[in-house]
A and B are shown apart, each in its own frame.
Chain A
Amino acid sequence: MSTKEEKQRIELLQGTLDLLILRTLLLGPAHGHAIAKAIEFKSDDVLQVEQGSLYPALHRLIRRGWISAEEGTSENNRRAKFYRLTARGRRQLVVETSKWDKFAGAIARILRPAKQEGES
């Protein structure tokens, strides 16, 4: 059923999305919309996140104590909720980043020989 497929997709996304959020917040507190924009912008629009899926992720991170939320005003003077990286979140980012590097490295090692073969 469709529910199952969706779940798998979200799960695949989750870890990555969490990492992206943490990375974005390393530069300073931001509100939800700004985080979404930042992710899209920085990845040259390659990562097209369904913006809504940001919110469950944000709340999960708050619950884990990696980010915190506070009231504030946005650039165009709108009231908004700002998310900020906590000390624990900062540590987590290091862990997650190294994990991601290992993962990406592994994927790359698997893919590279195939690519070489294809070229020759």
Chain B
Amino acid sequence: MSIRKRMMQDIDRDIADHIAMETQDNIDRGMSPEEARHAALRKFGNVTRVTEDTRSAWGYVWLEQLWQDLRFGVRMFFKSPGFTAVAVITLALGIGANTAIFSMINAIMFRTLPVKNPRSLVSIKWTARHLPDTGEAGVYSWGGCPDAMPTPQPVSEGCNFSYPMFERFKGEQVLSEVFAMVPSSVPVNAFGHSGRANGLCVSGTFFSMLGVRPLLGRLLIASDDNSSASPAAVVGYRFWKTFLNGDPNIVGKPISFGKARYTLVGIASPEFGGLDPGVPSDFWVPLTFQPGMTFESAPKALWLAMMARLKPGVTASQTEAALSAMFAQNATRGPMAIFKPEDLPGIELPTAAYGLNSLRYDFTRPLLTLLTAVGLVLLIACANIAGLMLARSKARQKEIAMRTALGASRVRIVQQLLAESMLLSLAGGAAGLLLGYWGARTLMLFLSSNWSQPIDLHVQPDAHVLGFTLTASVLVGILFGLAPALNSRNVDLTHALKETTGSAAGTPNGSWFTLANGLIIGQMALTVIVLVGTGLLVRTLTNLKNTNIGFDSKNLVIFDLDATYSSRTATELRDLGPEIRQRIAGMAGVTSVTYSFLPLMKGSRMFAKISSIGPEKQSGELSFLPIAPDFFETMVVPLVVGRTITVQDIREQNTGARRHVAIVNQAFVRRYFGNQRRLGDRFRTADNNEFEIIGVVGDMRHENLRDASLPTVYVPIFNIPGFTGLGTFEVRTAIDSKSLMSAIRAEVSHFDSNLLVTNMKTQTEQIEQNIYQERLVARLSALFTLVALILACVGVHGRLSYQVSMRTQEIGVRLALGAQRGNIARIVLRQAFALTSIGATIGVIAALGLTRFLQSFLYGVKTTDSWTIATACLLLLGWALLASYIPARRAMRIDPMEALRYE
């Protein structure tokens, strides 16, 4: 046994021995035994404190006391399981919601790529004073910069380079390695599945530089870059599992991505989803096998993105300087010259440790908004539990007074109360962690189903998430533990010990602005902030849904049709659209069918430059959509004047007939013709085609629900050479459109099994997807607000119930002296009303300041919307009065005789 342990065990006995000896001495001196013992004790001092001080000589006491406090806390909580359950569940919800949102933010922003040494990876970005002049080549700019937030500075920048420039970078000694890539999105029809696959065309060192391992087979290597090598493809784990049925024998088999045929040489390891966290790549193919690309011939074409690894010991800024010099030289002179020397072209190397992060741009704002909302809810939960703890600590005042009298120091008491609150918050935090994981997964599934590609984020709790949850729990524990702990310091010993349990101890005889009332007011204020914010978001969503979009989105099936795998010739392809249209139109339940180059409400639109338009020969840019016959009939858009596009128009356009016809919308007429509907007017596009206006239709929104209709031109749909997508079909159904989907699929496949039907959904679903951010934020805020309201309700109820029970005697006296029961109830309700009103006033002021940050989310409603604010306040007041009903009734029913006997 250690000396420490032995000494500690003997303390009590030693002290007892000591006192016994002293007593004996005193008796020897002639005192009575009782007197002797008292004298001995007096001389010894406070036994409890001496014991504690002696123990503290052995260190670890703090820990031991903590352990003691925790055990005591657990016992206390088991004594009041109701309170414990409410507190832990409240905390679990609050912390869980925060953990869930943070897990998402963490997965999107703070996780490095699962590759070898991600911190030394950089992207390569050019900057210049002016836009590059790429001449004939044009800019195929797909971004490829990490964290592609648009920068509003007057500098032009980009992450795309020409192939010869990539070779220059490859030859640079200052970089340890570099690879180039370009994204590719192609239709795939393989092994019984069809759809689109998103991949990357990469240079040979891609996998070796990232240190990715194959799950099966091999990955791409440098020799795959040779145009003489047989074309090889690697697929991602997720694609292999879902699309290729996880078949291990697939390695070595041929596979087509779009028109190009490859041999599938391997499957990447499951951890590596690609360079864009959360958006897994389906395949990787060598850069040189991009069909239709001739790199050498286009030294100015900017289309490749690059990633490089810094040399160990060389800083990014040193490397930047070296590369800038090389780039400035090559980009201002010779065949690759795209800048003038005064443009000062240079190179920057932003870190690529977190990957390309395309999700960040879209999700950061809604997630941060939600984090604010859940943060407020957690604060409300905190205030709530602080109130409960406060009431409990009042009830425990006698116990605390007793402990103090027995020699416990104040620090010790505060420590014990804090240990108890910490115990609660950690229990809540542990439950919250589980809840948070579940929540984050649910959130991810929601986002995934509304995003253009499947999302696969790693939301499992990692060190960041654990740290966040732990910190949140500890802070919360301190926050709500502080109130009762501070309160315990003001205990008046003699007073508290004399009191019978729970009578005057909590009488609000002092200031009305007590800590407990402050907590309720704070809770009310926070709830109002959340209510107003949610109100604005919900109104935004309803406004969006009730927007007049100019066409009927119900009972409309849309799908994309792709003829990549069809063996038809270009001329045959031209007739494919009308044929399919006829096939589907003949189906039972289908009212009408049309197709257009782009789907509506998918966030995209086409532009055309007009060189001469209207009486003033204006030039301008307008929205533009190629459509098939019956487009306006199918979409239910009114034809204001003239006629719509016919099969004849399409045929003439496709056979290169002299006459181009166009239908314009009313916004177009308003803008260029001063609202005079003139048919037969002509306008000229920038590529010098002349169009004759043959009809005017009503305005419809193309891109999304928010943006009003732009001046738009509809032209007969045409085939772009080499482009195998037929566009988006729109099918108006007389019956539930969902039920027709599989029949339409079957019809198309029956007609030609090589045609790919992708993105099939109803137009309503498409709209819902388009407003997923608003839906997500509004719905989750509504959920959190409900939680906030319930918490606030519980808080008010608890506070008032407690007050009524504390004032039982006083109420009894009042009743005995002839007070009306109605008046008694009014006292309670007045209290609720006062607390809520003060809280709501503070909340509204705070909300006016805070909701500014919601501005960009809102639609059709101002942040200062009085209706929303009034509703929020009334709702809260209603809730608060409802919550005070039970305590008020209890106060009314107090029996004066009973209450007075209580003393």
Size category of the binding interface on chain B: 20 to 34
Give residues 5-58 of B contacting A (CB, 8 Å): 7, 10-11, 14-15, 17-18, 20-22, 24-25, 43-47, 49-50, 53-54, 56-58
Does A16 make an interface contact (CB < 8 A)? no
Q: Which residues of B contact A90 (CB under 8 A)?
A: none
Q: Which residues of A contact B21 (CB under 8 A)?
A: 33, 74, 78, 80
Known: A1-B410, A74-B21. A51 touches B7 (CB 8 A): no
Q: Most B CB atoms within 10 A — which of A56, A60, A62, A76?
A: A56
Known: A1-B410, A3-B410, A60-B57. A50 touches B11 (CB 8 A): no
Closest Cβ neighbor of B53 among chain A residues: A56
Distance in Å: Cβ of B59 to nearest Cβ of chain A? 8
Cβ contact within 8 Å between B54 and A56: yes
Give residues 56-98 of A contacting B (CB, 8 Å): 56, 58-60, 62-63, 69, 74, 76, 78-81
Q: Which residues of B contact A63 (CB under 8 A)?
A: 4, 57-59
Give the A-binding residues of B (Cβ under 8 A).
3-4, 7, 10-11, 14-15, 17-18, 20-22, 24-25, 43-47, 49-50, 53-54, 56-59, 409-411
Does A55 make an interface contact (CB < 8 A)? yes
Give the top 9 A-B pairs by smallest Cβ distance, nearest first: A52-B45, A52-B50, A59-B57, A56-B53, A33-B21, A50-B45, A60-B57, A55-B54, A52-B44
Task: Determine which of A3, A36, A55, A76 lies in contact with B14 in the assembled complex, contact meaning CB atoms within 8 Å.
Answer: A55
Cα A51 to Cα B56 with chains together (Å): 17
Cβ contact within 8 Å between B57 and A51: no
Q: Most A CB atoms within 10 A — which of B18, B45, B410?
A: B18
Does A29 make an interface contact (CB < 8 A)? no
Cβ contact within 8 Å between A76 and B58: no
A-B contact pairs, 9 of them (CB 8 A): A3-B409, A32-B17, A33-B18, A33-B21, A51-B44, A55-B53, A62-B3, A74-B21, A76-B24
Cβ contact within 8 Å between A32 and B54: no
Instruction: Count how many pairs of residues, one from A and one from B, have CB atoms less than 8 Å apart in the complex.
Output: 71
Cα A52 to Cα B411 with chains together (Å): 21
Q: Which residues of B contact A62 (CB under 8 A)?
A: 3, 7, 57
Closest Cβ neighbor of A76 among chain B residues: B24
Q: Which residues of A contact B59 (CB under 8 A)?
A: 63
Closest Cβ neighbor of B410 among chain A residues: A3
Cβ contact within 8 Å between B410 and A81: no
Task: Determine which of A1, A50, A78, A81 lies in contact with B44 in the assembled complex, contact meaning CB atoms within 8 Å.
Answer: A50
Cβ proximity bits A24-54 to B, threshold 8 Å, 1 near / 0 not: 0000000111001100000000000011110
Cα A69 to Cα B5 with chains together (Å): 13
Q: Which residues of A contact B22 (CB under 8 A)?
A: 33, 51
Q: Which residues of A contact B50 (CB under 8 A)?
A: 52-53, 55-56
Cα A32 to Cα B15 with chains together (Å): 9
Cα A51 to Cα B54 with chains together (Å): 13
Cα A9 to Cα B339 with chains together (Å): 81
Q: Which residues of B contact A74 (CB under 8 A)?
A: 21
Q: Which residues of B contact A81 (CB under 8 A)?
A: 10, 14, 17
Cβ contact within 8 Å between A69 and B410: no
Cα A1 to Cα B7 with chains together (Å): 32
Distance in Å: Cβ of B822 to nearest Cβ of chain A? 48
Supplied contacts A50-B44, A52-B50, A59-B57, 7 more A-B pairs, CB within 8 Å: A3-B410, A3-B411, A33-B22, A36-B18, A51-B18, A55-B50, A62-B57
Q: Which residues of B contact A58 (CB under 8 A)?
A: 54
Task: Determine which of A1, A33, A52 lies in contact with B17 in the assembled complex, contact meaning CB atoms within 8 Å.
Answer: A33
